[in-house]
Every structure is written in C-alpha cells, then in structure tokens.
Amino acid sequence: MSHPDLIKSYFESLDNYDYVAERVVPYNKEIHEKILSEVSIWAPKDFDLVDLGIGPGEVDEKILEKYPGAHVTGIDISEKMLDSARLKLHKFSERAKLVKGDFDFADLGPERDFIISSIAIHNSADDDKMKLFDRIYDSLSDKGLFINADFIAGEDPQDDERDRRWYFHFLEQHLKGTELETWIMHAFYEDNPAKLSDQFKWLGESGFRKVECTWKKMNLAVYVAYK
Ligand SMILES: C[S@@+](CC[C@H](N)C(=O)[O-])C[C@H]1O[C@@H](n2cnc3c(N)ncnc32)[C@H](O)[C@@H]1O
C-alpha cells in the first residue's frame, strides 16, 4: 500500500477521532488553543486560512466563531474525517470549504493569510515535507504565516529515546489491547516526525525569513514561520 493510501485507510478506520485524539495526542486541547492564540495575535478583520489535515475541524470551528470575517479551507485525505468536519462547520455555510485531497499535492490556493496544520504533516516523508514547505510559502500572501503544531523527533539520539519512551508510556496509560498495538504501529513505525532543526532549515530554504518555536513539550511542538 502506498503511504497516502496507508494514512487514508488508517484515519478511515477510526470511528471517533475525538475519542482517539484525547488518548493519543498529549496536550491536544492545549495545542489547539496555542494555534488559536497565534492566529489571534496577527488576525486582520477579514482573512483567508487553509488547514492542512483538518480532521474534525475543532480549531477551525473556534476560528470561524471568533472571526466573522474569516474564511477557512480544510484539506483532508479522509472522507470520514471530512464528514466530521462537515457536521461541525456547515453552520458557517460558504465561510467553510472542505476539500478532499492529499496536501502533499493539492492546490493550496493563492494569497492565503494563514496556513495552519496540527498533528498531520509528520505523516509525510521528509522529501514531501520540503516540497510542501515550498508550496506553503508560494501560497501565502506577503505577510502570511504558517503555523504548525506537530509531533517532532528529538534533536539527538538521547532526547529522541527519552521522548519516545515518554510517549510509549503515555499510550500505555490511555489505550489497551488492539487499540494500543495499532497506535504503537502507527506512531513508531509508520510516522515520520522530523527534528525541529531540520524543519527550520527546510523552511529557511523555502524562503521563510523567520521561524519561531512558540510551544514545546516532549515530542510535540508548535512553531510559526513568517514569510
Ligand atoms: C491526527 S489527525 C489531526 C486532525 C486535526 N488537525 C486535529 O488536530 O484535530 C490528522 C489528520 O490529517 C489527515 N492527513 C494526514 N496526512 C494527510 C495528507 N497527506 N493529506 C491530507 N490529509 C492528511 C488525516 O486524514 C487526519 O484527518
């Protein structure tokens, strides 16, 4: 199975991602709040935002509620995830657009004020991440921001080992049996989290003038890249 098909079938297999997220993404709510607060710092009255791997659209619902001038486009490879997002976001009618596609290839559109992503880009291979960062840069308006919250790899083998053990323990505390086995397989063998230092280097090569890590705990970080 190709990697995009693997990701798609994995997320299609989850009956209730909101239930799963609490158990597999440490600090999930805190991360979403952090994205919202980064958007709030810079939000103009009207803006255009793209969410890569929108999932059930939790952050986007908050953004659309808070900012009546916001327009959101959510891209996701999984129809099931888009169905959940549709349920949450249909009340915003044309302000919320949902697109089925692979963000490693999808058209991200022109003149976006924000491109955000949470717990999604670590699924992509490093080569695809680099190409994606180029496309994100091209798609942002002059003062556009890319805000990414994601699993990361440790900077050195010891940090990486510590973070992986910590995450393994977190999963063991929250899941059991097949659920635990499935997620360990997904997190430790199929995912491709990259070091922050590598991601910052690639973002610089894509043209971003500054990248700042604004939140970090164990194997998770939120950063903002300024065009
Ligand atoms: C762990 S969920 C996170 C969902 C949401 N961003 C959140 O934080 O609640 C990851 C989402 O990214 C989507 N995804 C992963 N890789 C993708 C890709 N290459 N293209 C589009 N969607 C992708 C999955 O289908 C899934 O909905």
Say which residues have a Cβ less than 8 Å from residue 32's Cβ, sequence separation at least 6. Answer: 58, 59, 62, 118, 149
Question: Which residue's CA is minimally distant from atom 12 of ligand 1?
Answer: 53
Q: Which of 7, 148, 186 to mutate to test the pocket of ligand 1 (most atoms within 8 A of CB)?
A: 7
Residue 27: DSSP 8-state:
T
For residues 60 and 202, what is the distance between their CA atoms, to the nearest angstrom? 27
Q: Which residues pair with 150 in a beta bridge?
A: 221
Model pLDDT for residues 31-67, shown as the tens digit of each residue: 999 999 999 999 999 999 999 999 999 999 999 999 9
The amino acid that residue 27 corresponds to is Y
Question: Which residue's CA is minimally distant from atom 10 of ligand 1?
Answer: 120
Distance 52 CA to ligand 1 centre (A): 7
Percent of the chain with pLDDT over 70: 93
Predicted local confidence at residue 182, as pLDDT? 87
Strand residue runs (E) in 60-109: 70-76, 96-100
pLDDT at 72 over 70: yes
For residues 174 and 35, what is the distance between their CA atoms, to the nearest angstrom? 24
For residues 50 and 140, what is the distance between their CA atoms, to the nearest angstrom? 10
pLDDT at 135 over 70: yes
Say which residues have a Cβ less than 8 Å from residue 158's Cβ, sequence separation at least 6. Answer: none
Q: How far is CA 20 from CA 13, 166, 180, 182, in A?
A: 11, 18, 11, 12
Q: In the chain, what are the domain boundaries?
A: 3-226
For residues 52 and 103, the answer to whether their CB atoms sit within 8 Å is yes
The amino acid that residue 81 corresponds to is M
CA nearest neighbour of 113 among 36, 42, 57: 42
Write out residues with Cβ below 6 Å of ligand 1: 4, 7, 11, 21, 53-56, 58, 75-78, 81, 102-104, 118-120, 123-124
- Average pLDDT of the residues of the chain: 93
Distance 76 CA to ligand 1 centre (A): 6
Question: Which residue's CA is minimally distant from atom 24 of ligand 1?
Answer: 53
Q: Which of 14, 25, 81 to mutate to test the pocket of ligand 1 (most atoms within 8 A of CB)?
A: 81
CA nearest neighbour of 52 among 128, 105, 115: 115
Write the CATH number of the domain with boundaries 3-226: 3.40.50.150
For residues 126 and 20, what is the distance between their CA atoms, to the nearest angstrom? 26
Q: Which of 5, 15, 51, 54 to mutate to test the pocket of ligand 1 (most atoms within 8 A of CB)?
A: 54
Instruction: Give the pTM.
Output: 0.95
Count each helix (H run) and each strand (E run) in the chain, helices first: 9, 7
Model pLDDT for residues 141-156, shown as the tens digit of each residue: 999 999 999 999 999 9
